[in-house]
Amino acid sequence: MLGSYGLSTHIWNNRLKSLVLLAGFPVLLLIICFGFAVLISALDNPDVGQGIVNAFHILPSLIPVALIASLVWFVIAWFANQAIVDSVTGARQVDRKAEPRVWNLLENLCISRGIPMPKLRIIETDARNAFASGIRPAQYSITVTRGLVNSLNDGELEAVLGHELTHIRNRDVQLLVIAAVFVGIISLAGDLLIRSPRILFSGNSSGGYGGGYRSSSRRSSGGKGGGGAIILILIAIAIFLIARFLGIALSLAMSRKREFLADAGSVELTKNPDAMITALQKISGHSELHAPAQVQEMFLDHPPGPGLSSIFSTHPSIESRIDALVKYAGGHPPAPLPPEEAPPAAMAPAGTDAAATIAAPGQHGPWG
């Protein structure tokens, strides 16, 4: 239940997860380095046992290189994460003059709670989606798509903006960016590990680095251990698969509760659960926005894949989110909407404080 879970607990959990991810990075780095050490060891075509021993000898020389590369990656991600997100999504920053309607709605929400206003960005696409991003307060940004702005009325758009502001307040954006950096390192290392065998062992009899080195190694080893290199390559690939599994585990660590809690925070901010419900209705089936998986985890809606792939979804379904708003936030069961029609959002009954149903008595909401 949203009320019993506690928004302050969610914020604390996000901070704890961020620290755990940072603390676990040396372990992940060591695993990836060992995978590369096994590949390099396989160049000499030893037997498997000797190849593993050689990999442990090679490992210390790879760690400094990996640390420097990772440090550069972290510095780039820390200072340029928004520029990277903009480049892969096509988002651009706008001001009040360019987008007065969205700007005024966002500004009013921030003024009403005395919170700093994040930057506003827009993506020129018919898809209906939005996301918050940024690691530091100076970087916080809310991005909306043109399709979302054109399809929602003011009440619904305000509810979506309140949802994204809650992600910022709850520190969801920080955790997602840190996780994206980790998954990016895993993906890059995995690609290199998969490509390395082709690069290191490719070549033909007429020349080529891989072929020449391989022939020399075979001569020096007297033709022994020829099958060892293949087994070592398979071991390196297995290490990469372990790293990829850790990447999937990172995605699963991003609790789906964050979307329910952001919906709850939007209701507490706008006092209009029905606006959030109809906004979700209009977004459903129209939210597909092409971007890397790490960025899609930030989206307001990222539909689960078909079949078993839905197990690894980072977002709850639209239907379950609407059900939660009806059950816990005082929203009305939604009526079917015509595909392209945007009627005014229904208001909560007079005298009903919908936000009061979100938090248990004596509990502070996301804006308290």
Question: Quick one: tokens of 182?
Answer: 């980790």
Question: Quick one: tokens of 359?
Answer: 């938090």
The Cα 326–Cα 69 span in angstroms is: 49
Helix extents (H) in the chain: 2-5, 7-42, 48-89, 100-113, 146-151, 154-169, 172-201, 209-220, 228-253, 257-270, 273-283, 293-296, 318-328
What is the sign of the dihedral through the CA atoms of 34, 191, 293 and 306?
negative
Find, among 78, 335, 302, 311, the residue nearest to 184 by Cα: 78
Q: List the catalytic residues.
A: 164
Instruction: Return the DSSP state at 308.
Output: G
The Cα 8–Cα 107 span in angstroms is: 24
Find, among 323, 282, 327, the residue nearest to 301 by Cα: 282
Residue 69 is which amino acid? A
Pairing of strands 119-123, 141-145: parallel
| Phi and psi at residue 130, to the nearest 5° | -160, 160
Got the DSSP string for 269-300? Answer: HHS-HHHHHHHHHHHTTS------HHHHTTBS
